[in-house]
């Protein structure tokens, strides 16, 4: 690998040689975490898709195994696409996934482990009755019918799964029912459908309890007061709705219906797609995993010999007012922390740029709290910004003075600042509440051309009368900058390719460009060790 490409190689994120994308069927089973993924065993561009398979005991260090599902039967000969794992009664795991068949129709297939006493579940068997579900029925587009969810049991004791589909031009999560998880019938109505968009890929359906960061297992009784979340992948991002699962009508009912899908909430406002969650029975939490693709060119991917990583697995839960999901990197990532630097009592006045020294700036974990000294002067919020937050981030750039903000971090900066990525906030006042903008601006991230370098952004509400502090957590992993703002209210995953990585000479700063002073009561940063990710074949 040419030297520049080898420095880009991530050290703590999930990555493998060749091309990988969607996380598939994650599960915790008999003491082992399994991660499957869309994988091209033959090269670093999309194609020949099979299910790659890796295992871990801590979600951070991974052992790579042989692919679990390969293109060996007529019902998946053109690709073993996305799907999910369900742990059936009797603790038998099963995977239902989409196959592209001999006619390129999308069908749903099942596989079971050959030997459940193999701790790694290396081999998976395809029974003869595949495909289990065919794209049959009026209005169903056989080329837009894929990505089955994990199963759950309804009040009638029957299993259910949802499959993403285009139905009569609508986007739908189609609902299927089964007694034995093998014979499926389509329910006459979808779990949920909408005319507001194109087909939803990778639907995910799960239950959450307001204000509780413990997760719920969909296949056991869901407690009163629980809400349900429907996540769908579309428009290059993962969006979600919070609502209730109406058991009588067997349908998902969102709490709020927004016609304009630009306003739908997102799991992540950056480069993050095809996520899938699972209930981790080891720690009683729900974990979500997303794919983040390369934003350099395909010839770069060929030169690197790999493309596509997974963001650090995140714990995901519902805030106490049931308005939005919150996320943070799983606590296991902290096992990679080594040298720590800590600053107290830092005050950032307008124009201040304070260097954070003493850690490896290429591979770091940073936690920083910004305390606002005055919010009265905050600039007014314009709701039209919500329709195109990236445009607003480009205009309200880190160098543009505001009243309260921009303040935040500058990471992966070259000595002369020609290259840098900034992750920052601005505070706006909107009638009775405050709206906080979080941006991850990649426009100056690299001197290289042919890169996709947007200014990502998301907004969250904060009750600044009660909470005067805005937190930021950023994980830097060479070409990955993953940020969690406002206690995980807005998450932004980004990919960057700075030339300054070559000599390792990048710098990191905290800054404020707003007229109002910002205090930093807490700043901690760590260098991170390298994880053992898919280095050897089991």
Q: Is 82 in the site for ligand DQQ (CB under 6 A)?
A: yes
Least distance in Å: CB of 87 to ligand DQQ?
Answer: 22
| Residue whose CB is less far from ligand DQQ, 7 or 49 | 49
Minimum Å gap between C-beta 268 and ligand DQQ is 14
Tell me how far CA of residue 376 lies from CA of 403, 435, 465, 516, in angstroms. 9, 13, 11, 10
- Single out the residue of 10, 12, 19, 22 in contact with ligand DQQ (rule: CB under 6 A): 22
C-alpha R_g of the chain: 23
Q: Is 201 in the site for ligand DQQ (CB under 6 A)?
A: yes
Our CB check for ligand DQQ shows the closer of 274 and 427 to be 274
Distances in Å between the Cα of 364 and the Cα atoms of 7, 179, 251 are 15, 49, 44
Nearest to 330, CA basis, from 54, 82, 94, 56: 56
Site membership for ligand DQQ, residue 98 (CB under 6 A): yes
User: Pick from 285, 309, 337: which is nearest to 475 by CA?
Assistant: 337
Between residues 143 and 433, which has the closer beta carbon with respect to ligand DQQ?
Answer: 143
The answer to the question of residue 310 lying near ligand DQQ (CB under 6 A) is: no
Among 14, 37, 51, 81, binds ligand DQQ (CB under 6 A): 81
DSSP-assigned letter for residue 91: G
Could you give the 3-state DSSP secondary structure of residue 147?
coil
Strand-pair partners of 421: 411
CB of 307 to ligand DQQ, least distance (A): 13
Question: Which residue number, 20 or 421, has a Cβ lying nearer to ligand DQQ?
Answer: 20
Smallest distance, ligand DQQ to C-beta of residue 476, A:
25
First to last CA, the chain: 24
User: In 3-state terms, what secondary structure has residue 241?
Assistant: strand
Which residues in the 121-160 window bind ligand DQQ by CB under 6 A? 146-147
Give me the least distance between CB of 303 and ligand DQQ, in Å please. Answer: 23
Helix, strand, coil: what percent of the chain each, to 5?
Answer: 5, 50, 45
179 CB-near residues (< 8 Å, 6+ apart): 158, 159
CB of 81 or CB of 425, closer to ligand DQQ: 81
- Close Cβ partners of 349 (under 8 Å, ≥ 6 residues apart): 512, 517
Neighbour-count burial of 333, counting CB atoms closer than 10 A to its CB (0-12 exposed, 13-18 middle, 19+ buried): buried
Of residues 40 through 69, those in contact with ligand DQQ by CB under 6 A are: 49
CA angle 315, 316, 318 (to 5 degrees): 145
Closest CA to 238 of 169, 311, 297, 189: 311
Measured from the CB atom, the residue of 140 and 476 that comes closer to ligand DQQ is 140
Minimum Å gap between C-beta 341 and ligand DQQ is 39
Q: Using the rule CB under 6 A, which residue among 95, 161, 202, 396 binds ligand DQQ?
A: 202
- Give the residue with the Cβ less far from ligand DQQ, 86 or 422: 86
Asked if 99 and 75 count as a contact pair (C-beta separation under 8 A), the reply is yes
Q: Is 58 a catalytic residue?
A: no
Minimum distance of ligand DQQ from residue 237's CB (angstroms): 12
- Closer by beta carbon to ligand DQQ, 72 or else 92: 72
Q: DSSP letters along 122-137, please? A: --EE--TT--SB---S
Strands 469-477 and 363-372: antiparallel
Name the residue with tokens 């990679």. Answer: 336
User: Closest approach of Cβ 437 to ligand DQQ, in Å?
Assistant: 28
Catalytic entry in 22, 101, 217, 238: 22
Backbone angles phi, psi at 280, to 5 degrees: -95, 100
Binding residue for ligand DQQ (CB under 6 A) from 21, 34, 444, 478? 21
Query: Applying CB under 6 A, does 105 fall inside the site for ligand DQQ?
Result: no
Interacting residue with ligand DQQ among 38, 171, 414, 534 (CB under 6 A): 38
Residues in the interface with ligand DQQ (CB under 6 A) total 12
**Closest CB to ligand DQQ among residues 78, 414:** 78
Q: Any idea of the CA torsion for 383, 327, 485, 22, to the nearest 10 degrees? A: -80
Give the pair of three-digit tokens for residue 171: 């986007």
Tell which positions 251-280 bind ligand DQQ, by CB under 6 A.
274
85 binds ligand DQQ (CB under 6 A): no
Q: Indicate whether 362 belongs to the interface with ligand DQQ (CB under 6 A).
A: no
| Spatial separation of the C-alpha atoms in residues 309 and 479, rounded to whole Å | 10
Minimum distance from residue 100 beta carbon to ligand DQQ (Å): 8
Positions annotated as catalytic residues are 22
Binding site for ligand DQQ (CB under 6 A): 21-22, 38, 49, 81-82, 98, 146-147, 201-202, 274
């Amino acid at each position: 690998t040419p030297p520049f490409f080898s420095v880009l190689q991530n050290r703590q994120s999930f990555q493998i040689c060749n091309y990988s994308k969607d996380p598939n069927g994650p599960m915790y089973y008999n003491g082992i975490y399994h991660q499957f993924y869309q994988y091209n065993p033959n090269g670093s561009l999309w194609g020949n898709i099979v299910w790659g398979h890796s295992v871990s005991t801590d979600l951070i260090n991974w052992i790579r195994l042989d692919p679990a599902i390969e293109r060996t039967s007529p019902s998946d000969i053109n690709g073993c696409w996305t799907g999910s794992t369900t742990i059936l009664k009797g603790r038998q795991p099963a995977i239902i996934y989409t196959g592209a068949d001999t006619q390129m129709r999308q069908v749903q297939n099942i596989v079971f482990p050959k030997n459940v006493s193999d701790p790694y579940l290396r081999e998976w068997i395809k029974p003869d009755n595949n495909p289990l579900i065919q794209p049959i029925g009026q209005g169903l587009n056989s080329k837009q019918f894929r990505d089955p969810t994990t199963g759950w049991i309804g009040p009638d004791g029957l299993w259910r799964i949802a499959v993403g589909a285009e139905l009569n031009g609508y986007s739908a999560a189609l609902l299927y029912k089964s007694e034995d998880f093998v014979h499926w019938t389509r329910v006459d109505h979808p779990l949920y459908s909408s005319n507001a968009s194109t087909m939803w890929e990778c639907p995910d359906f799960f239950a959450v309890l307001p204000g509780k960061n413990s997760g719920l297992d969909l296949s056991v009784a869901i407690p009163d007061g629980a809400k349900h979340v429907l996540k769908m992948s579309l428009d290059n991002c993962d969006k979600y709705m919070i609502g209730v699962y109406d058991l009588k009508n067997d349908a998902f009912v969102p709490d709020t219906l927004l016609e304009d899908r630009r306003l739908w909430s997102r799991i992540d406002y950056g480069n993050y797609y095809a996520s899938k969650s699972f209930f981790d029975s080891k720690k009683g939490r729900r974990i979500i995993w997303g794919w983040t693709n390369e934003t350099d060119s395909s010839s770069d991917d060929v030169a690197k010999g790999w493309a596509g990583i997974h963001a650090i697995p995140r714990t995901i839960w519902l805030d106490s007012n049931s308005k939005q999901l919150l996320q943070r990197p799983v606590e296991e990532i902290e096992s990679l922390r080594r040298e720590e630097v800590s600053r107290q009592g830092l005050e950032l006045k307008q124009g201040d740029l304070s260097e954070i020294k003493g850690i490896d700036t290429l591979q770091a974990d940073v936690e920083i709290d910004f305390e606002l000294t005055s919010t009265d002067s905050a600039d007014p919020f314009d709701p039209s910004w919500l329709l195109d937050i990236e445009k607003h981030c480009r205009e309200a750039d880190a160098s543009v003075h505001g009243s309260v903000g921009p303040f935040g971090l500058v990471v992966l900066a070259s000595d002369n600042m020609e290259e840098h990525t900034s992750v920052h906030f601005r505070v706006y006042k909107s009638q009775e509440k405050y709206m906080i903008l979080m941006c991850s601006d990649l426009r100056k991230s690299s001197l290289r051309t042919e890169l996709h370098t947007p200014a990502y952004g998301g907004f969250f509400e904060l009750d600044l009368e009660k909470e005067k502090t805005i937190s930021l957590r950023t994980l830097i992993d060479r070409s990955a900058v993953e940020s969690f703002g406002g206690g995980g209210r807005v998450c932004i995953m980004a990919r960057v390719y700075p030339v300054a990585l070559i000599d390792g000479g990048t710098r990191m700063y905290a800054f404020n460009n707003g007229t109002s002073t910002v205090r930093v009561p807490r700043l901690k940063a760590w260098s991170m060790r390298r994880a053992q990710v898919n280095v050897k074949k089991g």
